[in-house]
């Protein structure tokens, strides 16, 4: 979406023209709900409503500048030369078990990315907030939340988070205990927080890369997909074929020829690109593309399924008027991106595709598997929740340049129970070290996705006649499940998301229950493990930082 400025202005002119024409109709009084909805989308043009093109130029140029800083960022280490985020820094964060090396990469990346963005980000927020007023919103956050068509949306997600927090607290306590064994407990603050650079992920958002430090039953079976992929000489194209095969097995169409011709599936060597993965719809019912600096790892195989899930959504609503070719809400698009990975990662499925020799049936292996899933799906929840808590408060003006980083770490300490391994000041701008902030991509969609994907998994597994526990259900090859999913996908954004949710699950609300039920066997085990632990952490960040 990093169009040149004048194409941004041209698009805005077109949107304004179309909105003006549509406003000559009394569309609020239309009888036909679909036509009424279509007109509402024609007149609801967001930032383009502004009469000051300087604001639009600023928004477009600042976003390009900010993502430019992010894609060019590099850290030079005496041992390994100068590395960019993907693949170099990510490989170290994933595989290093040296406290100091992890710290150098963690701090280095923040110095090379977020720290350089603070002033531009302040101007960016100002320009967006000024422009969005012309569409009748108080601030950009209110506009972004309007896509969920739910007046109580902010409260709903807080309630969901509170329902899920007890499960996260138990996982956090177990991981903290095991990491203290690995790195020594004097590297951990008294307050109960875990240093943010030890999770195998640059943002501590998903923890499955340190599964090897956390295995509940080392003797029982557990799956190391990356090793198996390398053993079987997986290459990038094969990863995409494996994902395509899954979607086709539940009755979805294959990827188009245009997809294979036009996608960027590996990092180019001749220029800097935004490597953060994305999926694109060119709205011609044929040209769909993934842009991903793909490498051969388990994480990346999941991201391949994620991006292709977006493409499958595009393919299933390509018959609709273009303004309805969106997710029922942004969380639905992300949920569709992730839904097959709940089946794909099961030991059952790993055996089907030859990445696991035997399907274990013992309860120890079950706990091993559930912990690995929790390290991605449960660990993520506070992170998915807090990003837009920070951003909404910035758009509202409750947080500004004088306390950006203070509020960021307040949220990280309070919700994730993690703390910075080095002193942070307002010279730093740690939110900018996460793609979605310079990329201006809203984030609450991923929190919504991680809730609804379990509601859908439960419903699709029931549709598929699954009799196994939910966490062992694999909808591969099941076209009944695929047809149920397609019913929802084909609606695009032509109906409110509550109708789409009802099409799959029969319910009209988000619910944390399927996620909690999925992890119930693990929760019992974690509580047992944590009997001697003081679970939880202090709401505010530690005042002193243990130094190596």
Select from 171, 277, 328, 374 the one that contacts ligand KAW (CB under 6 A). 277
Q: Establish if 373 lies at the interface with ligand KAW (CB under 6 A).
A: no
Select from 62, 75, 275, 279 the one that contacts ligand KAW (CB under 6 A). 279
Alpha-carbon distance values, 313 to 145, 171, 265, 306, 441 (Å): 22, 33, 19, 11, 19
Select from 37, 120, 172, 333 the one that contacts ligand KAW (CB under 6 A). 333
Please provide residue 289's backbone torsions phi and psi, each rounded to the nearest 5 degrees: -135, 150
Q: How many residues bind ligand KAW (CB under 6 A)?
A: 18
Q: Establish if 262 lies at the interface with ligand KAW (CB under 6 A).
A: no
458 counts as catalytic = no
The angle at the Cα of 538, spanning 525 to 90, to the nearest 5 degrees, equals 70
Q: By C-beta, is 191 or 441 nearer to ligand KAW?
A: 441
Catalytic annotation, pick one of 170, 298, 307, 458: 307
Q: Exposure string (b/e) for 225-260, b if CB count within 10 Å is 16 or more?
A: bbebbeeeebebeebbebbbebbebbebeebbeebe
Q: Which does 410 bind (CB under 5 to 8 A by kind): Zn ion, ligand KAW, none?
A: none
Tell me how many helices (H) and strands (E) the chain has: 22, 6
Q: Which of 418, 511, 514, 411 is nearest to 462 (CA)?
A: 514
Strand, helix or coil for residue 215: coil
Q: How far is the CB of 371 from Zn ion (least distance, A)?
A: 25
Select from 302, 350, 374, 381 the one that contacts ligand KAW (CB under 6 A). 302
Cis peptide before 87 (omega within 30 of 0): yes
Q: What is the DSSP string of 431-491?
A: GGGSTTTTTT---HHHHHHHHHHHHHHHHHHHHTT--S-GGG---TT-HHHHHHHHHHHTT
- Piece in contact with ligand KAW (CB under 6 A), picked from 84-92, 141-149, 275-283, 403-411: 275-283
Q: Which two tokens stand for residue 269?
A: 């060597």
Q: Establish if 325 lies at the interface with ligand KAW (CB under 6 A).
A: no
End-to-end CA distance of the chain: 43
Q: Establish if 298 lies at the interface with ligand KAW (CB under 6 A).
A: no
Select from 105, 242, 304, 337 the one that contacts Zn ion (CB under 5 A). 337
Whole-angstrom Cα distance, residue 97 to residue 198?
8
276 counts as catalytic = no
Q: Which of 142, 149, 147 is nearest to 128 (CA)?
A: 142
Q: Establish if 366 lies at the interface with ligand KAW (CB under 6 A).
A: no
Q: How far is the CB of 453 from ligand KAW (least distance, A)?
A: 9
Select from 73, 108, 431, 439 the one that contacts ligand KAW (CB under 6 A). 439
Q: Establish if 278 lies at the interface with ligand KAW (CB under 6 A).
A: yes
Q: By C-beta, is 279 or 475 nearer to ligand KAW?
A: 279
Q: Which does 167 bind (CB under 5 to 8 A by kind): ligand KAW, Zn ion, none?
A: none
- Active-site residue set: 307, 436
Where do contacts with ligand KAW occur on this chain (CB under 6 A)?
Answer: 1, 205, 276-279, 302-303, 306-307, 310, 333-334, 337-338, 439, 441, 446
Where do contacts with Zn ion occur on this chain (CB under 5 A)?
Answer: 334, 337
């Amino acid at each position: 979406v990093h169009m040149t400025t004048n194409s941004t202005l041209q698009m805005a002119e077109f949107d304004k023209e179309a909105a003006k024409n549509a406003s000559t109709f009394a569309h609020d009084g239309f009888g036909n709900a679909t036509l009424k909805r279509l007109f509402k989308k024609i007149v609801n043009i967001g930032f383009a409503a502004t009469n000051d093109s300087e604001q639009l130029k600023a928004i477009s140029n600042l976003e390009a500048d900010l993502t430019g800083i992010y894609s060019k960022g590099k850290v030079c280490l005496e041992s390994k030369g100068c590395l960019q985020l993907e693949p170099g820094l990510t490989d170290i964060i994933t595989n290093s078990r040296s406290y100091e090396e992890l710290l150098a990469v963690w701090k280095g990346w923040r110095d090379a990315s977020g720290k350089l963005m603070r002033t531009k980000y302040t101007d960016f927020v100002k320009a967006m907030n000024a422009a969005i007023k012309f569409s009748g919103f108080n601030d950009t956050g209110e506009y972004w939340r309007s896509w969920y068509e739910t007046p109580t949306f902010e409260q709903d997600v807080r309630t969901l988070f509170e329902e899920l927090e007890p499960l996260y607290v138990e996982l956090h306590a177990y991981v903290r205990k095991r990491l203290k064994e690995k790195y020594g407990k004097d590297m951990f603050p008294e307050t109960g927080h875990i240093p943010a650079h030890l999770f195998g992920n640059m943002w501590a958002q998903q923890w499955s890369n340190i599964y090897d430090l956390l295995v509940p039953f080392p003797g029982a079976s557990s799956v190391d997909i990356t090793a198996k992929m390398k053993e079987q000489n997986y290459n990038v194209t094969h990863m995409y074929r494996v994902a395509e095969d899954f979607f086709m097995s539940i009755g979805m169409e294959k990827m188009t020829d245009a997809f294979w011709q036009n996608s960027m599936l590996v990092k180019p060597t001749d220029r800097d690109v935004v490597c953060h993965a994305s999926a694109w719809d060119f709205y011609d019912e044929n040209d769909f593309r993934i842009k991903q600096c793909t490498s051969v790892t388990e994480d990346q195989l999941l991201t391949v399924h994620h991006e292709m899930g977006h493409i499958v959504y595009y393919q299933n609503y390509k018959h609709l008027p273009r303004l309805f070719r969106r997710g029922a809400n942004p969380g639905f698009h992300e949920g569709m991106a992730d839904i097959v990975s709940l089946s794909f990662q099961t030991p059952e499925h790993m055996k089907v595709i030859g990445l696991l020799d035997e399907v274990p049936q013992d309860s120890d292996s079950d706990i091993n598997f559930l912990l690995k899933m929790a390290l991605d799906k449960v660990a993520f929840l506070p992170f998915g929740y807090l990003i837009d808590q920070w951003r909404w408060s910035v758009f509202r003006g409750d947080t500004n340049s004088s306390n950006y980083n203070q509020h960021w770490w307040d949220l990280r300490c309070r919700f994730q129970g993690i703390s910075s391994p080095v002193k942070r000041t307002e010279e730093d701008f740690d939110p900018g070290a996460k793609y979605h902030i310079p990329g201006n991509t809203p984030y609450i969609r991923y929190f919504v996705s991680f809730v609804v994907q379990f509601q859908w998994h439960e419903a699709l597994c029931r549709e598929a006649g699954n009799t196994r526990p939910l966490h062992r259900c694999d909808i591969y090859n099941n076209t009944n499940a695929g047809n149920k999913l397609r019913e929802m996908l084909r609606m695009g954004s032509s109906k409110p998301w509550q109708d789409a949710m009802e099409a799959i699950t029969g319910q009209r609300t988000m619910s944390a229950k399927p996620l909690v039920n999925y992890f119930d066997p693990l929760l019992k085990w974690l509580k047992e493990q944590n009997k001697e632990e003081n679970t939880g952490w202090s709401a505010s960040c530690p005042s002193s930082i243990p130094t190596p």
